[in-house]
Amino acid sequence: MARVLHKEQSEIHVDYVNAPNQLARGSPSKNHTGRKLYRLVGVSFGLLCILQIALNISLRLTLCETAAEKTNKQQQQQQKTHQTHHRWVYFRPSFYYISSIKKSWQDSRDDCLRRGADLVIINSREEQVESDNVMNCWIGLTLRETKGEWKWVDGTPLTKSYWGSGEPNDYEGKTEDCVEIKFHDEENSWNDIPCGDQNFWICEKTVAL
């Protein structure tokens, strides 16, 4: 193998004959590569740590957000439930809801049905007196599709009635097939009016307590 070509080179370059010994001790270039490798491993590890921390933070933030969203949703649901129930009043044995807007008889009934109730059926004097605190409210009594017989929304026929004076009268030849409580504070307070008229309404929900 090449020993030394020039004198200068012999001063500068390593004698290959001695190379195995030098390798055993570890050459400077090998040391350099090793350091590079250590540095690379170190940097990679550092990067991995940073990535892990970032992941942890983002995961925690997401979980916190999800928990906050859940609490928010629960609160909204509670609020909604409260809003839908706070206008119900209890009068044994039922809960009553008095609307704050007006609708036709059928639309009013549909609203009650959506609330798990139906238009009020008055089957006691107490119930009539209690319902009489309102004016112009639909009740669950109709002639519609009943072959001329007054019937409650549960299909039972009318036995005890509380018609106002002169009612029912199909006023001025109009078809007045639905019933409202018309006269405030009078026991005989019912009036027949056209089912398409706009009125407030009373829903009744019977619940076993």
- Cβ at position 123, least distance to ligand GN1 in Å: 23
The one-character DSSP state at 71 is H
Spatial contact of 104 and 193, defined as CB atoms under 8 Å apart: no
- Our CB check for ligand GN1 shows the closer of 117 and 139 to be 139
The rounded distance, in Å, linking the Cα atoms of 162 and 182 is 11
Rg (CA), the chain: 45
Q: Minimum CB separation from Ca ion for residue 172, in Å?
A: 9
Closest approach of Cβ 168 to ligand GN1, in Å? 8
Residue 5: which of 18, 16, 19 has the closest Cα? 16
Q: Closest by alpha carbon to 190, among 162, 169, 166, 209?
A: 162
Which 96-155 positions form the footprint of Ca ion (CB under 5 A)?
none
CB 84 within 8 A of CB 115: yes
Minimum distance, C-beta of residue 124 to Ca ion, in the bound complex (Å): 24
Copy the structure tokens of residue 190: 């019912």
Closer CB to Ca ion, 149 or 172, in the complex:
172
Contacts (CB under 5 A) with Ca ion, residues 156-175: 167, 169, 171
Contact residues: ligand GN1, CB under 6 A:
166-167, 169, 171, 176, 191-193
Which of ligand GN1, Ca ion, none does residue 189 bind (CB under 5 to 8 Å by kind)?
A: none
Number of residues that bind Ca ion (CB under 5 A): 6
- Enumerate binding residues for Ca ion (CB under 5 A): 167, 169, 171, 176, 191-192
